[in-house]
Structure 1
């Protein structure tokens, strides 16, 4: 840091396994990635190339190399996995992961229906090849899962080999663990945390109010996902109690 302040929460150090900031890249250019990393690279832990944007992104290999050279893992969004699965191209997907030297892969079923045992089998197979992050929850706002179902799904996917499980919210933060207004489904979160360790979950929280809520609930070293590139430094200040929203939360006067 640039100077010393007392009573600042202690952050985990990179490479982190907890306190992750997962950033949503929705189509940054190579130059934009370079500029982003110059400022926010120390605070970004994982990059998701949102949904299927990698399919249409020019200079994909150059872009991935910039992230790799910065030591920041990248993975394709879960919707791309689903696009391959719905077309019966799972083996092709595995070859794509190898072609681009991906170390992470997301397994999700937010846009298509996949039997859960089948989904867990995909997790098991891919975990032999890469580190798997699975996503629980639907992108359809009309599909509301009971808390026990969230817990059962998360437990099964962790057992199948998922390193982390993502709690679905989409890039807008208005489905899954949130109501369509963006309000946190607090009872759901409380129930999940009775059975699933917080450090195992990446909470998609693209909105500032959502980020503040989770940081106050769990602490500075909560895993947060779907963070916009321009919000990475603002999120870090929230984690450290250096923004008005969390200013008093970490003070030890």
Structure 2
């Protein structure tokens, strides 16, 4: 029975309001049980860091995610490892062999020149849905707000489906301070100046997730979500937690607010 007034959520094969989980080695059996119940609130699955390369039965895992209509892709660290060893052509072939058609281009560990990342995007976008990550995993590196916005816009104009704001699985770099606090001034500028439906904010903890839900709206795109947290996150999006309790009218604050499938 539906008798509560809740925020309007996107559903089905949605293009925003995305929940992107980080899989750091969930066994196939356990993953199957989780997806049986919660696949409808998971949109994207990142096989974290470079773990896909050594994951047993990786093709079986990829196929399982696709069976539940979840888009799998490999973490940006594996891309950077391949770039470092000049193996990008082999990497793209590897992804196609696995049946993965999403590619993350990042420079969180390496300082890959922007032109080199754009060259990869130009080459890959005909065969892959490309996501570009902006920001460094080094918490001591500060990136000017203007540079954040410029780089993110350049990637979208180059044909990327989404841009990801670096936050690590610990929430201690990129859009976060080393103590885990959100760089709120940066987020305010990104939300104000860009198409927020094209940004996936890495938000590994409930505290981070609630910040973005309250700042952007229930249909904000969130990444690096732990598998065990997907139901709690959906409850937060629906105003069913104290910190997001008054969200029933929150769509009015959402940029380009009307939910679409």
Structure-2-length-normalised TM-score:
0.93
Q: Which one is further off, 5-14 or 49-58?
A: 5-14
* Equivalent residue, structure 2, for 1:28: 26
Distance 1:251 1:132, change over 3 A: closer
Note if 1:151 corresponds to 2:149.
yes
Write the distance in 2 (CA, Å) between the matches of 1:9 and 1:62.
Answer: 36
1:7-43 Cα deviation digits (max 9, x unpaired): 1011011211000000000001110110110121110
Alignment of 1:90-109 (within 5 A): 90-109=88-107
Q: Which residue of structure 2 lines up, in the alignment, with residue 68 of structure 1?
A: 66
Choose from 75, 78, 101 the match for 1:77.
Answer: 75
**Displacement, 1:194?**
2.7
Structure 1 counterpart of 2:204, from 186, 203, 206: 206
Q: Match of 1:217? A: 215
Partner SS, residue 248 of structure 1:
coil
Between 1:77-86 and 1:120-129, the stretch displaced more is 120-129
Check conservation: 2:6, 2:247, Cα contact below 8 A.
no
**Which residue is 1:161 aligned to?**
159
Cα distance, 1:251 vs. partner? 6.3
Aligned residues: 250
Matches for 1:117-196 after TM superposition, within 5 Å: 117-196=115-194
Shift of the alpha carbon at 1:129?
1.1
Q: Who is 1:114 aligned against?
A: 112
- CA distance in 1: counterparts of 2:40 and 2:192, whole angstroms: 32
RMSD: 1.1
Q: Aligned residue for 1:57?
A: 55
Unaligned runs of 5+ in 1: none
- Does residue 46 (structure 1) correspond to residue 30 (structure 2)? The answer is no
**SS at 1:111's partner residue?**
coil
| Partner Cα separation in structure 2 for residue 85 and residue 70 of structure 1 | 31
Does the 8 Å CA contact 1:7/1:251 hold for their aligned counterparts? no
Provide runs of 4+ in structure 1 moved above 3 Å: none
Q: 1:81–1:108: 8 Å Cα contact kept in structure 2?
A: yes
> Distance between the aligned counterparts of 1:75 and 1:138, measured in 2?
20
Residue ranges of structure 2 left out of the alignment (5+ in a row):
251-261
Question: In structure 2, the residue corresponding to 1:133 is in which secondary structure?
Answer: strand
Is the contact between residue 241 and residue 247 of structure 1 (CA under 8 Å) also seen in structure 2? yes
Q: CA deviation at 1:160?
A: 1.2
